[in-house]
Chains A and B, each alone.
Chain A
Amino acid sequence: MTSLSAALEVATATHSGMVRSHNEDSMAADADAGMAVLADGMGGYNAGEVASGIAVELIRTELKAALEGRAPEELNGQGAEQLIVEKTGRANNAIYQAAQSQPQFSGMGTTLVVAVWCDNRMSVGHVGDSRLYRLRGEVLEQITRDHSLLQEQIDSGMITREQARHSQNKNLVTRAVGIDPEVETEVHTYPVQPGDMFLLCSDGLSDMVTDEDIQLTLSSLAANLPLAAQQLVQQANDNGGRDNISVILVRVTQDFAARTGMLDKLKAWFR
């Protein structure tokens, strides 16, 4: 496993917003290991923070260890997807067990989005309505599709995207980590190009800032990633900041193909 810190630039920002008293989002990003994870917890009292905290901490440590223990060729596509599913399942167990054993955590859960970069690809897994977007050139694209009632209504043609902006059912997710003994994680793998910028965010951003403004911010401030992250949070707060806002930005600065020439394979063989 080679370090990806030369190829990936990372910035994060989080804020509890203008309405909520505490921040139930958790996140971690590691350019070296090539991974990012973001979770938006839910549950009474502090349980939301606990759930998102468990998910991020467990996935961060276990995924990092697993990524470091494997050769890049084991990780392209399916390997990374399996790891994401496996670690999300472990987080689900941990949260579910904690919720079962301690009454104050009963029913807690969290949404999740996890991304792994390896060998010029990115694998992303998600549960619920935390999202991953990609800016390629000037085009912003939402890569993940929410597991939410609203998204299902859009898919079934009942309402349009524009109408969805005014819906009052924004906050109903159809999947979450930690509320059932099993979790179904949706995972996909995409090719990556130098210059691509990825945004992982909680619904506190995507509900408050339009895709056009997200696109404008990412494309105009690509040269200063921390400023771009802060700007996104600031815009969500300027628009009302009704929920916690968390963003992770990952910019691909150069090619990060795994070396898979004959010589490298031979070396790996003898190692």
Chain B
Amino acid sequence: MAKLILSLDGSVIREIPLNKDRVTIGRKPQNDIPIENLAVSGEHACIVTILDDSFLEDLGSTNGTLVNGNPIKKHILQNNDVIEIGKYKIKYVVEAGTAAAAPADDFERTMVMRSPVKPAAPAPKPAAPAAPPPTPRPITPAAPPPPAAATMPKPAPTPATPASAPVPAPAAAPRPASPAEPQPLAALQILTGAVAGKEIELVKNLTTLGKPGVQVAVITRRPQGYFLTHVEGASFPVVNGKALDAQARQLNDHDVIELAGVKMEFFVKR
């Protein structure tokens, strides 16, 4: 479960667990997190939590809401985000405690959320025999359409249901990692032909070379380096005097490529 840490001028005032679907922040006392300060609007912001995601929304406040220094209207909270309302700071922290036991692999498996609003099946529904009981945690998002009781259709090998498992650590969060360390920029220098001397920087993940319909090759940028692969045409590209086969070939600094009658040199810029 995630929590909020409310602080003013560096000293912690209180901690608030995000155990409700909707937590409101504002100056009025009926807010879940009341903040007695004139810079705070009566109903200033709210945090909606669905499964493991928490969404912060500014409710049209006069002085606005900042996350990590940037003004926001809506924002998906990430671990250690700092929300600023007036002079108050609220840190959003995902606790790595309870479900760290659930293997990361299990956490990412695709699961089905059954929606109760679904047209009822004609047959009496033998509510998923041998399947585990519905997750204890009620999941009724305030805003989105499906008030869904999530059940996990698979015979759970572990008692911890992934649906209620908080992220163990931000590092394990399932997000498309852009290649860890970007490749040093490389380029091609055309050595012969009409455009001799021209330089082509390999800034994209794929750069195609040659004449469509005659001979085409592609240079792909990968975490391991740059690779040259034949795409189409009867003849294959030549690197340092040797013709390629259908396999990709890794390029080294100062390799000379011959393609469709043009020579070019591959080199690493930095």
What is the interface of chain A, defined by CB distance below 8 A to chain B? 19-20, 40, 42-45, 47, 100, 103-104, 106-109, 111, 128-129, 149, 152-153, 155-156, 158-160, 163, 165-176, 179-182, 184, 203, 207-210, 213, 216-217, 220-221, 223-224, 227, 231, 234-235, 238-240, 242-243
Contact = CB atoms under 8 A, between A and B. Distances in A.
B179 A216 contact: no
Interface string B109-147: 111111100110111011011110000000000011110
Interface string B153-193: 11111000011000100000111111100000000000000
B4 interface: no
Given A176-B153, A179-B112, A181-B125, 10 more contacts: A100-B126, A107-B152, A107-B155, A111-B110, A149-B148, A163-B75, A163-B76, A166-B76, A171-B111, A234-B220
Nearest to A150: B53
B109 A171 contact: yes
B212 A223 contact: yes
B9 interface: no
B121 A171 contact: no
A108 B53 contact: no
B113 A179 contact: no
Contacts of A180: 114, 118, 121, 125
Contacts of B157: 44-45
Q: For the complex, would chain B's binding face be called helix, strand, loop or mixed by DSSP majority?
A: loop
A234 to B, nearest CB: 7
A149 B218 CA distance: 38
Contacts, number: 184
B74 interface: yes
Given A152-B145, A179-B114, A231-B206, A168 B155 contact: no
A163 B54 CA distance: 12
B146 A174 contact: yes
A169 B112 contact: no
Nearest to A209: B176
B176 A240 contact: yes
Nearest to A176: B112
Nearest to B229: A227
A123 to B, nearest CB: 23
A44 B205 contact: no
B112 A243 contact: no
Given A168-B173, A239-B177, A103 B125 contact: no
B231 interface: yes
B178 A239 contact: yes
Nearest to B212: A223
Contacts of B62: none
Contacts of B249: none
Contacts of A108: 153-154
Contacts of A174: 112-115, 146, 148
Contacts of B100: none
Q: Which of A155, A168, A181 has the most CB of B within 10 A?
A: A168
B193 to A, nearest CB: 21
Contacts of A181: 121-123, 125
8 contacts: A106-B155, A153-B50, A170-B174, A172-B51, A176-B153, A224-B216, A224-B231, A239-B177
A211 to B, nearest CB: 11
B174 A43 contact: no
Contact of B108 (A184, A223, A243): A243
B78 interface: yes
B153 A43 contact: yes
B212 A165 contact: no
Contacts of B156: 44
A181 B126 CA distance: 10
A166 B131 contact: no
B110 A203 contact: yes
